[in-house]
Amino acid sequence: MIKMDPAVIEALRAGVPLPNAKLEALHRFTTLVVRDRGFVPEVDIVAFLAAGYTRQNVLEVVLGVAAKVMSNYTNHLAHTPLDIFMKGNEWTKPVSEAA
């Protein structure tokens, strides 16, 4: 809906580095926030900031993760069907990450 570069979407779905360095830094940091449940090492926060983000952006990532978790968990529990416009855009975990 926001006209994201298809190469970025494909890279995200394939689990490979993004073609844009700043977006890759955002992706990496967000992944660390989720995976480490907010216990992100300072070195990774510094790397995120060095990519051009701010301390406010750190908190915005946490807010985005929290909102997405609440939405996803609610939809899973309620068995909410996908909206019509999303049909055909379902995501499945890449085989390389399916551990």
Report pLDDT digits (tens) over 42-88. 999 999 999 999 999 999 999 999 999 999 899 989 999 888 887 77
Whether residue 2 lies inside any domain: the answer is no
Q: Which of 74, 90, 93, 94 shows the shortest CA–CA distance to 82? A: 90
Whether residue 99 lies inside any domain: the answer is no
Q: Which of 67, 68, 69, 32 shows the shortest CA–CA distance to 48? A: 32
Rg (CA), the chain: 15
| Burial group, residue 29, by CB count within 10 angstroms (0-12, 13-18, 19+) | buried
Inform me whether the pLDDT recorded for 97 exceeds 60. no
Q: Are 32 and 44 in contact (CB under 8 A)?
A: yes
Q: Are 27 and 53 in contact (CB under 8 A)?
A: no
| Averaged pLDDT of the chain | 90
Q: How many folded domains does the chain comprise?
A: 1
Full domain range(s) for residue 59: 21-88
Residue 32 maps to which CATH number? 1.20.1290.10
pTM of the model: 0.77
